[in-house]
Each structure stands twice: as C-alpha cells, then as structure tokens.
Amino acid sequence: MEFKLGQKVRYKRISKKIEIDMQYWAPRDFEEYEEKILERRELIELNRERTGYVMGRRKLVFKTIFWVNEFYDHDDEETKLFVDIARQEYGYAYLVAYGMGQTNYVLEEDLKEVT
C-alpha cells in the first residue's frame, strides 16, 4: 500500500542507522573472491505503538558489500591490495513525524493506516 504525504499512520517498529567506526577490514581478512557484508541499518521494536504523519519517502543504504581489489602502484612498481566497496543494497522507508521535530524511518510493511 502506498501512503500519501500527511497521512496518519501507526507503527511499532522503526529503522535506525548503525554507527560505524570506519575500520572495516584489512585485505588479509579476506579469502580469495570473498565478500563481506556490513549492515548499515537495524530494525528496533518499540515498547508501544506510535502514531504519526507521513512526511515523505526516502531511499536508504541497508547493506554495504566489500571485497578486495588490487591496483598497480607506478611509484613502487608493484601490485597492492586494498578493500573496496563492491556494491550497496538500497531500500525505501517512510519518514514519519510523531512529535514536534521528532521523526522515525519506518518500512512500508510496518505502517498501518489510521482511519
């Protein structure tokens, strides 16, 4: 179901960004052709249901997939390995306002229409 701007909704689960410390992995942590996945968002169950209003829909990064890449360094004349982003997986979430200046990101399947 598609929700409209300003529509009143209820929800009990929200999506929060996971803070990362920018120290992912070193090339030695990877097997050959291995990919590692870093979760970027987590789903949190609230104690009780919240009521809010839809403010919009956003495209968010849910997962980042890393792999080892190699490049030729012309200064040292050797091939070096480094960890690179292979791809990112995106998803959509609704931005819902539940208080003055307070918002949550909520997945579409977690929203219920209030009549």
Domain that holds residue 102: 8-113
Number of other residues whose CB lies within 10 A of the CB of residue 27 = 14
pLDDT on residue 72 = 65
Question: Helix, strand, or coil here: 100?
Answer: coil
pLDDT on residue 20 = 78
Token pair listed for 95: 């931005």
Token pair listed for 45: 């169950």
Q: What is the pTM of this model?
A: 0.80
Q: How many residues does the chain have?
A: 115
Tens of pLDDT, residues 26-85: 777 777 777 888 899 999 999 999 999 999 999 999 998 888 877 766 677 776 777 888
Tens of pLDDT, residues 74-114: 677 776 777 888 899 999 999 999 999 999 999 999 999 99
Token pair listed for 61: 């990064």
Count of structural domains within the chain? 1
Q: Is 73 a member of any domain?
A: yes
pLDDT on residue 19 = 85
Q: Is 1 a member of any domain?
A: no
